[in-house]
Amino acid sequence: MSDERPVCPHCGLPMNRWATPSMTTWDSDYMYVCFNDDCGYYVRGWNWMMEKYEVCCSYRHRYDPHTGEKGPLPVWSPTALKDGIID
């Protein structure tokens, strides 16, 4: 496995390695997550979630290097989950 950080397909910036919480169903110890607060995917997510589901949250792009799975990681605030960044 490469040590090179993947880039976010939405903003083009390198993604951060993020420790997965212990109380989840994910088997991976970490994933890569885009924590760029200016990423269009994250920025647009606030309006999309409010319009579609009437909830005040957004999502960040995540990538699991162990399974290849990609998708949204829900967040409830701009600082949510940032304490899990490990590099």
SS3 state at 63:
strand
Sheet holding 16-19, edge to edge: 16-19, 30-33, 58-63, 70-75
Q: What is the C-alpha separation between 4 and 60, in angstroms, rounded?
A: 20
Mean pLDDT of the chain: 95
The whole-number pLDDT of residue 77 equals 98
pLDDT at 28 over 50: yes
The pLDDT assigned to 4 comes to: 87
DSSP SS3 for 4:
coil
- 1 pLDDT exceeds 50? no
Q: How far apart are CA 7 and CA 27, in angstroms?
A: 22
Q: What is the DSSP string of 10-27?
A: TT-PBPEEEEPPSSSS--
Q: What is the pLDDT of residues 48-86, one digit of tens each?
A: 999 999 999 999 999 999 999 999 999 999 999 999 999
Question: pTM score, two decimals?
Answer: 0.92
71: left (phi over 0), alpha (psi -120 to 50) or beta: left
